[in-house]
Amino acid sequence: MSGDDDIARAVALRYVAPDAPTVVATGRGETAEAIVAAAREAGVPVEENPALAEALSTLELDRTIPEDLYRAVAEVIAAVLRAAHRP
């Protein structure tokens, strides 16, 4: 296992129903930290899922996610929505 496997990765998605989510930013290391910090500052929920981030980070920016990732992304969106509605 290389040291690169331990570097943080972040992916930002845009989701406007009824369209499929699109990847709008990806990064590793300091760029990943900046993506997460910007999301938190903007009040955008952050969900940690390293395997999904790895898969999404290979996609081109501004492209909809492929169908084989719909379920995993839907689970993240559902978790974010549930968290947003908790008192």
CATH of the domain at 66: 3.40.1690.10
For residue 23, the one-letter residue type is V
At residue 29, the pLDDT reads 95
What per-residue confidence (pLDDT) applies to 2? Answer: 37
Number of domains in the chain: 1
pLDDT on residue 6: 64
Burial of 31 (0-12, 13-18, 19+ CB in 10 A): middle
Residues whose CB is less than 8 angstroms from the CB of residue 6 and which lie 6 or more positions away in sequence, other chains included: none
Residue 5: pLDDT band (50, 70, 90) is: low
Note the pLDDT of residue 1: 33
Q: Does 20 have pLDDT greater than 50?
A: yes
Instruction: Summarize pLDDT for 30-49 with one digit per residue, the tens.
Output: 999 999 999 999 998 888 99
**Can you name the residues that pair with 13 across neighbouring β-strands?**
23
